[in-house]
Amino acid sequence: MVPRIVLVAALCSTVLVLRLLAPPEPSAERDRERVECASCSGHGHAPAPLRVEEYERLLCLYGAEPMSGNSQALETLLFHGAQVGQLLGMHGAGALDAERASFLARELRRTAATVAFRIVDASGAEHVRLEPTRVRIGEKAHLTAASGPTLRPPEFSGTVYRVGLDHLWARF
C-alpha cells in the first residue's frame, strides 16, 4: 500500500520533469520578435482606432481651419494618418474644399521619417554615429550605428510615429 502523499509527490515530479523536457512552444509572433530583436518590447504604440463619425467631424473642423499646425483637426487627422488614408479612400473627403483635400492627401503620402543617432562625450567628441536613415512611420526599425574601432557598434531599435503636421514621436 503506497501512501497517498507519495503518489501525489510522484505525480507532481513527473509533471515537472515533462515540463522541463518539453517547454511550451512560444507563439510564432513572439518567436519572430525574439529573432528580430532580443532587447526591445513587442508592444505597439499605434494610435487607437478612429471612428468614421470622428473622421467626418475632424474633416468638418479642418474645413474651417488653416492648412497649418494651428489646425487641431489637421494635426489629429495626421496623427491617425494610416487610418485616415484608408477612410479617405473608402468615404472620400466629404465637403472638404479641393485645396484642403489636396493638402491633406499630400501630407498623408509622407509615410517615412529619417532618424539619426549619436553618442557624444563631454568634450563634444562623437563615439557613435548613425547618419540620417529613412524608416517607415509606424513600423519597428532596427538600425546599426557606426562606432570607433574600440567600441562595438550599437543597435537602435524602435518606432517613429507622426503626431502632427510637423511633429514626430519616437521610442527607441
Partner 1 sequence: MEGLHFAAGPWFTVQRSGSDWQTVAKIWISDGRADGPADVQIRLALAPAEDQRKGE
Q: Does 39 bind partner 1 (CB under 8 A)?
A: yes
For residues 112 and 137, is the Cβ–Cβ distance under 8 A?
yes
Question: Residues 10-29: x/- map of binding to partner 1 (CB under 8 A)?
Answer: --------------------
Which letter does DSSP use for residue 70 in this model?
T
**Considering beta carbons, is residue 97 or 166 the nearer one to partner 1?**
166
Which whole-number Å values give the CA distances from 35 to 27, 28, 136, 154, 156, in the listed order?
12, 11, 20, 17, 15
Count of residues touching partner 1 (by CB under 8 A): 37
Q: Are 158 and 170 in contact (CB under 8 A)?
A: yes
Task: For residue 41, state whether it binds partner 1 (rule: CB under 8 A).
Answer: yes
Q: Is 146 in the site for partner 1 (CB under 8 A)?
A: no
The region of 4-12, 46-54, 87-95, 151-159 touching partner 1 under the rule CB under 8 A is: 151-159
Greatest Cα pair distance in the chain? 90
Which residues are bridge partners to 135 per DSSP?
Answer: 113
172 lies in the binding site for partner 1 (CB under 8 A)? yes
Scanning 19-27, 28-36, 50-58, 105-113 for contacts with partner 1 by CB under 8 A, the matching segment is 105-113
Query: In terms of DSSP bridges, do strands 155-162 and 126-136 run parallel, antiparallel, or are they unpaired?
Result: unpaired
The residue from 59, 93, 113, 140 that contacts partner 1 (CB under 8 A) is 113
Contacts of 80 (CB under 8 A, 6+ apart): 47, 50, 55
Q: Is 93 in the site for partner 1 (CB under 8 A)?
A: no
| Residues at the contact surface with partner 1, assessed by CB under 8 A | 38-41, 106, 109-122, 127, 132, 134, 148, 150-152, 158, 160, 162-163, 166-172
